[in-house]
Amino acid sequence: MATLNQEHLDAVKELINQSPYFMLLAMSVVDLGPGYSRVELELSNRHLNPFGGVHGGVYTSLIDTAAYWAVYCDVADDAGFISLDVSVTMLAPAKAGRLVVEGKRIKAGRSICIAEAVVMDDKGKLLAHGVSKQMVTPGLQTISQAVKALGYKELPPKFLD
C-alpha cells in the first residue's frame, strides 16, 4: 500500500468535522489512520431521549461514523464508499460526559469493507458495540465530492507515492 499523507488526513478531519450532520450531533473525528479512527462527543441535552439517557440513534451514528472512517485509508483516492448496514448492540446507558468511539477495520476488500466500533465513556466503560459494512463506490461519494459540496479548499494528496 502507498504511504499515506498525514497532511491529507489532518485536512480530512477538519473537513468532515465541519459537515452539517457532525455539527448537528457535535461529534468530531479526532484521529484517523490505517484501519483506525477515533470519534468523540460531549453529551448534552440534545443527545438524550425522553427518559434522560443517550438516544440509541446517537450510539448508532457514532458507530457508523467511526467504522466508516476506519476504512477510509484503505480505499483508492478516487473511490468513496457507502454504508450498507450497521448492527448496533447497546450495552449500557449514559447521561452525561464524553463518549469515546474507536473504529477498527476488520476487512478492506475491493468492493466491500467491514469495520467495527465501540462506544465507551471517558472512564473506559463499554456502552455500545457495532459492526458496519460499506460498499466501495469508485467515483461516487468520494472525498473530492465532499470538498466540493462543503465548499472546502483543495486537499493535499492522500498518498505520497
Asked if residue 155 is part of any domain, the answer here is: no
Find the CATH number of the domain harbouring 48: 3.10.129.10
Asked if residue 55 is part of any domain, the answer here is: yes
- Residue 132: which residues within 8 A CB-CB, separation 6 or more? 63, 64, 67, 68, 83, 85, 86, 87, 114, 115, 116, 117
Contact 19, 39 (CB under 8 A): no
- Cα gap 68→115, rounded to integer Å: 7
Asked if residue 1 is part of any domain, the answer here is: no
Asked if residue 160 is part of any domain, the answer here is: no
**pTM, 2 dp:** 0.95
Q: pLDDT tens digits for the chain (161 residues)? A: 689 999 999 999 999 999 999 999 999 999 999 999 999 999 999 999 999 999 999 999 999 999 999 999 999 989 999 999 999 999 999 999 999 999 999 999 999 999 999 999 999 999 999 999 999 999 999 999 999 999 999 999 999 97
Asked if residue 133 is part of any domain, the answer here is: yes
**In the chain, how many domains are there?**
1
